[in-house]
Amino acid sequence: MFRYFFPDSYAKDVSDVQYGDLKSNGIVNLLFDIDNTLSPVAVPEPDVKTIDLIARLKDMGFNICLLSNGGYKRAARFAAPLGVPFVAKAGKPASKGLNNALGAIDAKTANTAVIGDQIFTDILCGKRNNIYAALVRPVSGHEQWYIKLKRVLEAPVLARYFKKQRAALKNGAPDDRAPS
């Protein structure tokens, strides 16, 4: 059951995701969540750090699409300075928005990664569709009440995931970037 909720990797921040490793494993398409993954919820446009990261990833040969459950105006305003396509009101963890994002960058599930901050939307969406799913820590604690409720429900799943990662490290498995 937990396999749908456990990410394939964990990073403290989107800049800490091991993009070189993804690339060497055949992943060339990245689907990023916006809110609390790339930016705090209340920030309408990407900051310089995010613009530089997306530019660097494009230079590395990645195709990028933003995949957001947020509204169209929010996603469009955020995507414009990045020069990337977007899918708003994606309905994650459902597949329709994900499929639209894959189509926007002509991607296949086998060479794509979903990167987001929520287990029950971003990670579940990726895992249900056999897509590599990378979890990042939320960039801000400022969230809507229903997201805060989901964070409470995520806590035992994350505790189990990190416990499994620590056990794997003790047994010589590769580091999955889980915090100690």
Q: Tell me: the pLDDT tens digits for 44-81? A: 999 999 999 999 999 999 999 999 999 999 999 999 99
List domains and CATH numbers for the chain: 2-142 (3.40.50.1000)
Give me the pLDDT at residue 158, please: 73
Amino acid letter, residue 114: V
Token pair listed for 106 = 């002509």
Q: What is the DSSP letter of 29?
A: E
Q: Burial level of 30, CB count in 10 A (0-12/13-18/19+)?
A: buried
Q: Tell me: the pLDDT tens digits for 104-160? A: 999 999 999 999 998 999 999 999 999 999 999 988 767 676 777 776 677 767 767
Reported as half-sphere exposure (CB side, CA atoms, 13 A), residue 81 has a value of 13
